[in-house]
Structure 1
Amino acid sequence: MTAPIGTGPVSRQEALFGRWPWMTVRFLLPVLLLLLPAASRGQEGLSTLRGTVTDPSGGVMPGVEVTVEEVATGITLRKVITDNQGNYEVPALKEGTYRLTATRTGFKTLVENDIFIASDQVKRVDVQLEVGTTSTRVEVSGAANVIQTESGKIGSDFSGEQYQLAPMPANSYSSPLPVLATMPQIVTDAGNEFGVYMAGQGGANLDMGMDGVKEENLNTQTVNMEDVEEVKVEAVNNSAEFARIGYYNTITKRGTNQYHGEASYYHRNSALGARGFFEGTKPLKLYHTFNLSGSGPIIRDKTFFYGLWNAERVPEHSSFQDNVPTEKMRKGDFSSFLTGTVSSPCVKPGAGDPEFDTGAIFDPTTPHSITCSNTALNPAPVTIENPFVFNGQRNVIDPSRLSQLPLAVQENYYPHPNRGSPDSPVQNFEWIFPYPGDQYHADVLVTRIDHKISDKNSVYGRYSGYWPRYVLNNGDLPGLNWTRLRQSHSWAIVDTHVFSPNLVNT
């Protein structure tokens, strides 16, 4: 016996939503999950290599096999066939140096070496084949394009090799900001390295990224130039995939088929420097930077690693100068404020109107009203206070009236003067703070793994961590110190799959 539709056991979901809608949801959910990566935001920073293959007469050549190989890893990344117009296109390439090979029966094999592709670049390499056998190889060196002809973007790039050779001031904590200041179309505020402008645009109009993963502000805490292979700036005519006008991207280093290791040490010492013009004592200035990195294959032609440890130790001192009360002021004697010039609270004072020294201090407990002699110009009474006088000395407060609480604060937090004139409260105290004005201890750790799953699929994971420590002075006076431990972390897992030369999901 067949049960009619709608009878039989009913699940909780079917009771809530009905049988057919719930079955539809169960069917569509896996499909939606499969489509989700295509709808998610892709990785910016990948590049494209394109060109046209012609014969000796200049005619276009369809059906030519074009192979692109990454030189550093020896991995063949793409194999494409030119279309009816002789065009080829190889998308989703990372920054690096490549080798292009073009073959077709009846023509010599052409090998184009040393094709360098920057991040987020569309590069054209046109190829012309010669008549001959495919066993004959013609090798040429790929020259860099001087002018970008494939897009209207205006930008520039700065390589990690350039950074190693550049005289960056005090190593600048390995920040990319001093690097940006050296690049075209970029201007920084004087004295403020975080004030970055690209082609006149700044602040909310700028974005940054790391390995193509965008951040919504110019946070540079997890970017260490020791780990950077390239800094790429797009200042004008940015493409629609970027939310803002100006954008810069840092590309991290990665492993290759060769093992590489590097250890370096940077040192700065005040023994070789001059004392500051306004410094009474030259503070200790020491700076130590340690770099240790390594890279290579885990599985040749397939899996690669890269790692970096960067440490900064800054056991240096800072010199501070400030204004503190003189010895007389600490006891209530402000006679040094007197100027010898008098003024009156009355307009055009006459005989009998009060006059006070312009540097006088007044007793707030003695307010009273007076009538000025010139009532036409002073129709209302004027409220004044009596100037301080003690034992016949003007601008001196009776010591018995000094509150003990402010005196205790003064004694504990305001040091005695140690420089300058005894009666001058201007820049009369100098002291050496046993820490620098910025971080005194920092560690950076970067790890990256790249893996080739197949000719059409690759994946990598990268982690960057930054642990700085600070002891800072808040007010230029001893005793107003505070500590800070600020951490920054950045990680990315990127999978790139090429379905066809025109369809790439990252």
Structure 2
Amino acid sequence: MRRSVLVVAFLATFLSVGLFAQTNLGRIVGTVRDNTGGVIPGVTVVVRNEGTSWTREFLTDETGGYEIANLVAGTYAVSAEISGFRRFVRPGVVLDAGRTVRIDAQMEIGEVANEVRVESTTPVVESETPSIANSLDYEGHMKSAVSTGNRPWEALVSLPNFVSGTATFVYSLAGSRGSQLEIHVDGIGTPSAGSPLGSGTMTMEGTSELRVLAVNNSAEYSQPAILQQISRSGTNDFHGSLRYYHNNSALNARPYFVPKAASHDHTFGAWFGGPLVLPKLYDGKDRTFFMLSYDGNFSPGFAAVNANVPTAAMRNGDFSASTFKPIKDPLTKVAFPQNKIPAGRINPVSKSIQERFYPLPNYGDTSVFTQLNHRIIFDNSAKGGNLDLRIDQKLTDQNTMYARVGWVQFNVARMEANLPTVGPRSQLRNLRSVALSDTHSFSGLLINELRLGYHRS
């Protein structure tokens, strides 16, 4: 028995796996008081998601306070009810990802059947935590002057403290280094060796909010600068959108000193979501919701490749027309006459490789060796697509969960080397990401959140 305990202790110590505790869920807190300012304990406080009608409730403690945590981003209605007082209702409470919103309630004496309805905007200032954050929703991104549609982080340069770096996909936030910015998709990190922003971002259509955390982040984050991308969920109403963005050089201004380069970029996206309804089989209203989104891009184009290749005379051993140093016989160390290698001294293997991989010059005076004397044009069109599917399910009044699956595929053509005969290389990449979240409320004070994620780049 003692040996088994030692083995388990050893495995737990040296074979442990790191787990990350980042969360993108928010909470609503507040205090319930009467007309005189006195606190009211035992008040039933209910928050209801206005999109899905999912509810959570809490009884205020002896100080009149309440805290309802682990809420997904969305718009909520907060109500408070107790015998002897009129029912308090505050609709339209916007809760961003990972944010704490305070909604205090003032109860008035009267019948519960009567209602006090408070219409007000959600506070913008973060008063419950010392962190400083900025956020941008889907509509804000689409209306941004710097938006091109499929790259959500491009619109973030309009936010304070967010600066674009000189390298591709490298950004600085609140003075941090580019390598210190990390992206989280639904609370799951998406690291990538090629980009600090990761390689598993969702579609912009499938994004409900982009949130930037820069100052006084909590210890749950491994980097000083965090970019959170929160997926959109379906609601009880069917919604969707379709967009198309086209950039054509014919509509661009002509540069003064150089010819205008041709370009034709096509960017598009769509999303659709709502309750999962199967006619005569299943009605998912108030229980099951879906959201399907897709975006893609196609940019036809061509690129030039310049190479240095030997002339026809040089291929036959005649270097007399060039400015090279005298070529010496490797056996005698004596220069070849007129800088010409006899045909019988050329290795047949080398000659075969030369004829196979080195084309003849096609640019300039082909009889004289010059720099970049061979030029070709090849197709380097770029295309890609991103598909996301999210399913939300209410198992019980105390248990909700959602699952999201994402696919990203893009293809870029590049030349493998400067030698045109090597040919272009088609780089096809397939990225996969999966997120699963389960939230169970055992009581008003005990809530468990289980989140699992998988990312392949």
Tell me, yes or no, if structure 1 residue 74 matches structure 2 residue 53. Answer: yes
Match of 1:445 in 2: 387
How much does 1:448 deviate?
1.1
Counterpart in the other structure of 2:425? 482
**Alpha-carbon deviation of 1:221?**
3.3
Helix, strand or coil for the counterpart of 2:61?
coil
Q: 2:287 aligns to what?
A: 302
Partner of residue 407, structure 2: 465
1:294-333 correspondence to structure 2 within 5 Å: 294-298=272-276, 299-314=284-299, 316-320=300-304, 322-325=306-309
- The answer (yes or no) to whether the contact 2:311–2:369 under 8 Å persists in 1 is no
Return closer, same or farther for 1:113/1:428 CA change in 2, 3 Å cut-off.
farther
Q: Which runs of 5+ in 1 are unaligned?
A: 1-16, 25-38, 338-359, 369-384, 391-395
Q: Is the 8 A contact 1:280 1:430 kept in 2?
A: no
Q: Quick one: percent identity of the two aligned structures?
A: 28
What does 1:60-459 correspond to in 2, within 5 Å? 60-75=39-54, 77-168=55-146, 171=149, 174-193=150-169, 195-202=170-177, 205-217=180-192, 218-273=197-252, 282-283=261-262, 285-298=263-276, 299-314=284-299, 316-320=300-304, 322-325=306-309, 361-365=325-329, 390=338, 400=343, 405=350, 409=354, 412-414=357-359, 416-418=361-363, 425-426=370-371, 430-436=375-381, 440-459=382-401
Whether the 8 Å CA contact 1:154–1:234 is kept in 2: the answer is yes
- CA contact under 8 A between 1:498 and 1:504: conserved in structure 2? yes
Distance 1:183 1:236, change over 3 A: same
**Structure 1 residues 330 and 252, CA gap change in structure 2 (3 angstroms):** farther
TM-score, structure 1 normalization = 0.72
Q: CA 1:466/1:430 → structure 2, altered by over 3 Å: closer, same or farther?
A: same
Residue 98 of structure 2 aligns with an amino acid whose one-letter code is D
Contact 1:320 1:433 in 2 (8 A): yes
In structure 2, C-alpha distance between the alignment counterparts of 1:87 and 1:488, rounded to whole Å: 45
- Letter of the aligned partner of 1:286 in structure 2? H
Secondary structure, counterpart of 2:205 in structure 1: helix
Distance 2:376 2:101 in 1: 58
CA distance in 2: counterparts of 1:113 and 1:214, whole angstroms: 33
1:225 is paired with a residue of what secondary structure?
Answer: coil
TM-score, structure 2 length as denominator? 0.79
Q: Report the counterpart of residue 35 of structure 2 in structure 1.
A: 56
> Is this contact kept in 1: 2:290–2:392, CA < 8 A?
yes
Once residues 114 and 416 of structure 1 are traced to their aligned partners in structure 2, the CA distance between those partners, rounded to angstroms, is 71
How far did residue 484 of structure 1 move? 2.5
Provide structure 2 residue ranges, at least 5 long, that are not aligned to the other structure: 6-17, 277-283, 450-457
Question: Alpha carbons of 1:139 and 1:410: their partners in 2 closer, same or farther (altered >3 Å)?
Answer: farther
Distance 1:203 1:415 in 2: 45
Q: For residue 441 of structure 2, what is the amino acid of its counterpart?
A: V
Cα displacement (A) at 1:119? 0.5
Please give the alpha-carbon distance, in whole angstroms, between the structure 2 residues aligned to 1:157 and 1:451. 26
Q: Secondary structure at the match of 2:122?
A: coil
Aligned mates of 2:30, 2:215 — CA distance in 1: 24
In 2, Cα distance between equivalents of 1:366 and 1:492: 66
Instruction: Find the counterpart in structure 1 of residue 448 from structure 2.
Output: 505
SS of the residue corresponding to residue 500 of structure 1 reads: coil
Q: CA 1:202–1:502 in structure 2 vs 1: closer, same or farther (change >3 Å)?
A: farther
Structure 1 residues 236 and 403: CA distance shift in structure 2, 3 A: farther
Paired amino acid for 1:262: S
For residues 47 and 324 of structure 1, do their structure 2 counterparts lie closer, same or farther at Cα, with a shift above 3 Å needed? Answer: same
Cα pair distance change 1:132/1:169, threshold 3 Å? closer
Give a deviation string over 1:104-162, Cα, whole Å, max 9, x none: 33333222121111101111122222333333322223323232121111221121111
Distance 1:55 1:261, change over 3 A: same
Residue from 464, 484, 491 that aligns with 2:434: 491
- Judge conservation of contact 2:35–2:106 (CA < 8 Å) in 1: yes
Name the SS of the counterpart of 1:141 in structure 2: coil
Question: What secondary structure does 1:491 align onto?
Answer: strand
Quick check: which has more Rg, 1 or 2?
1
- After TM superposition, the structure 1 stretch with the greater mean CA deviation from structure 2, 420-429 or 175-184, is 420-429
| CA contact 1:327–1:417 (8 Å) conserved in 2 | no
